[in-house]
Structure 1
């Protein structure tokens, strides 16, 4: 995911909410959250631990249905 420089703090706030929702309600586990500091600056990579592809779809549905 690539962001504009001025949007990084907004992204961090949003990700904190997203991580809380999917870890508590869908059982996902955030394995690593990485930000590049060379080459493609402002690029972020999130590596999630899930059972299988269906678990991804379940978590995505949970996130979409969440009121926040």
Structure 2
């Protein structure tokens, strides 16, 4: 099973990390370091948000609808 970091770096056939770097004016190395630094907090928030059925339902609805904010 790929790690969360691997999933992020492979998003959009590898173009996701490049898009993130360009959006924030970062090098690829800076973008990867930032993602690695933020993943523990992201993971905890995701676990907390999906811990109950209503939170999981809201998460799945947001993912399916494109409302990721």
For the aligned pair, the TM-score class normalised by the smaller chain equals 0.3 to 0.5
Greater per-residue helix proportion:
2
- Pick 1 or 2: higher relative contact order, CA cutoff 8 A, min separation 6: 1
Q: Which has the higher strand share?
A: 1
